[in-house]
Copies of this chain bind each other. A is one copy, B any other.
Amino acid sequence: MSKILIDPSLTHDSTRHVGTHAMSILQGSGYELIVNPQDSEPSREWVLHQIADPQVGAACIMHSQPSDKVDQEFIDACNENLKCVSTFSVGYGVLNDAVADITVMLVLMTLRKVGYGINLVKRGEWPQIPWAPFVLCGHSLGHPGLKIGFLGFGRIPQAAVDRLLAFTNKTEPPTIIYTSSRERENQATIDANFTKRWGVDIKRVEKDILASQADVLIVLCDLNPSTKDIVNKDFLAKMKPTSILVNVARGPVVNSDDLHAALKSGQIFGAGLDVLTGEPNIKPDHPLLHLDNCIVLPHLGSGDFDTRNKMAELCVRNAIQSMKGEPLLAEVKG
């Protein structure tokens, strides 16, 4: 048991390159590396053949692609010595900052009507916009007494709060409200600690209160049966006409058709989406791409070089640790 299977490429000019940082860790490990030889997804057969090799003790894979999908077939194919399947998507903690950055950026873009601004310039309409006191105006995070709402309040929303408070009003500070799956017994203490940590009022509320009170509503909850479609027609109908919605969680938490209707009718002011139901199969005729008050990004959340290098490091270090029989750095227990 002396081999590690690597699907991301180790060839420097490959589009699938794992990065020089992770590559140097792998190469310094002393283990033999079996590397996907092509600059594209390997065949499923190649993957299953390699993991059956009894010398392969760990595998670094990209499980978002079909060839590397960890399903029953995959598990049945694994040789009995294989101790660890390490996926590149593992990101416990390392991607919080990158996603929090995109969150705040989308909040600013949506409040300040940047989608409309970009479209207007590209359509050649800038010369026809006469200057007037409130032309092209949007809303501000500095608005006195702003209410910022989070659907879900784990680590990423908390990293977003650290950033948002650099933009908010100092004399009339914002209030933060959030929902979580259930009210805890010591909820008052939890919220008092949050309030103390950031120096602004923070409290858990019910979903309807969140919808009706938030000026800025940020979706950062897990996707599960209880959160799928949670932002639907009823939810959007409770929101203020001046409010915005930002989704940096998973597409299906927000109902796309209902959001389109709410944006088109002016029920809410705008939306900024890093994720969208059906992604990446979004065609140019998708209705949300044709609204000036909606911004759609191609899931850039964790996409900065430093973060991806950390994800790559975690992926390969987990594989190496398991080969050595040492504890993993991040683990999903099966």
A-side interface residues toward B, CB under 8 Å?
A: 8, 15-19, 40-41, 62, 64-65, 88, 97-98, 101-102, 104-105, 108-109, 111-114, 117-118, 120-124, 126-127, 129-144, 162-163, 165-167, 279-284, 289, 295-300, 303-308, 311-312
User: In the assembled complex, how far is the CB of residue A163 from the closest CB belonging to chain B, in whole angstroms?
Assistant: 4
**Bound-state Cα–Cα, A325 to B172, Å:** 33
Asked if B126 and A280 make an inter-chain contact with CB atoms under 8 angstroms apart, the answer reads yes
Chain B minimum-CB-distance residue to A124: B284
**Bound-state Cα–Cα, A142 to B304, Å:** 10
Which residue of the partner chain, among B112, B120, B139, B296, contacts A105 with CB atoms under 8 Å? B112
Asked if B298 and A137 make an inter-chain contact with CB atoms under 8 angstroms apart, the answer reads no
User: In the assembled complex, how far is the CB of residue A255 from the closest CB belonging to chain B, in whole angstroms?
Assistant: 19
**Bound-state Cα–Cα, A131 to B16, Å:** 8
**Bound-state Cα–Cα, A52 to B112, Å:** 40
Asked if A112 and B117 make an inter-chain contact with CB atoms under 8 angstroms apart, the answer reads no
Given the complex, which residues of B lie within 8 Å of A132, measured CB to CB? 8, 15-17, 62
Chain B minimum-CB-distance residue to A311: B133
Asked if B133 and A306 make an inter-chain contact with CB atoms under 8 angstroms apart, the answer reads no
Q: With A112-B101, A114-B297 given, is the CB distance from A138 to B282 under 8 Å?
A: no
Given the complex, which residues of B lie within 8 Å of A109, measured CB to CB? 105, 109, 114
Q: With A17-B133, A65-B130, A289-B121 given, is the CB distance from A138 to B280 under 8 Å?
A: no
Given the complex, which residues of B lie within 8 Å of A135, measured CB to CB? 15, 303
Which residue of the partner chain, among B101, B137, B143, contacts A167 with CB atoms under 8 Å? B101
Given the complex, which residues of B lie within 8 Å of A17, measured CB to CB? 132-134
> What are some 13 contacts across the A-B interface (CB < 8 A)?
A15-B130, A19-B133, A102-B108, A104-B108, A108-B108, A118-B296, A118-B297, A120-B298, A121-B282, A121-B297, A124-B284, A136-B300, A144-B306
Given the complex, which residues of B lie within 8 Å of A136, measured CB to CB? 298-300, 303
Chain B minimum-CB-distance residue to A112: B300
Chain B minimum-CB-distance residue to A138: B304
Given the complex, which residues of B lie within 8 Å of A64, measured CB to CB? 131
Q: With A64-B131, A134-B19 given, is the CB distance from A140 to B305 under 8 Å?
A: yes
Given the complex, which residues of B lie within 8 Å of A62, measured CB to CB? 131-133
Chain B minimum-CB-distance residue to A126: B280
Given the complex, which residues of B lie within 8 Å of A307, measured CB to CB? 140
Asked if A140 and B279 make an inter-chain contact with CB atoms under 8 angstroms apart, the answer reads no
Given the complex, which residues of B lie within 8 Å of A139, measured CB to CB? 304-305
Asked if B127 and A306 make an inter-chain contact with CB atoms under 8 angstroms apart, the answer reads no
User: In the assembled complex, how far is the CB of residue A313 from the closest CB belonging to chain B, in whole angstroms?
Assistant: 11
* A16, A62, A280, A289 interface centre (most CB from chain B within 10 Å): A280
User: In the assembled complex, how far is the CB of residue A81 from the closest CB belonging to chain B, in whole angstroms?
Assistant: 26
Asked if A298 and B138 make an inter-chain contact with CB atoms under 8 angstroms apart, the answer reads no
Given the complex, which residues of B lie within 8 Å of A162, measured CB to CB? 166
User: In the assembled complex, how far is the CB of residue A263 from the closest CB belonging to chain B, in whole angstroms?
Assistant: 16
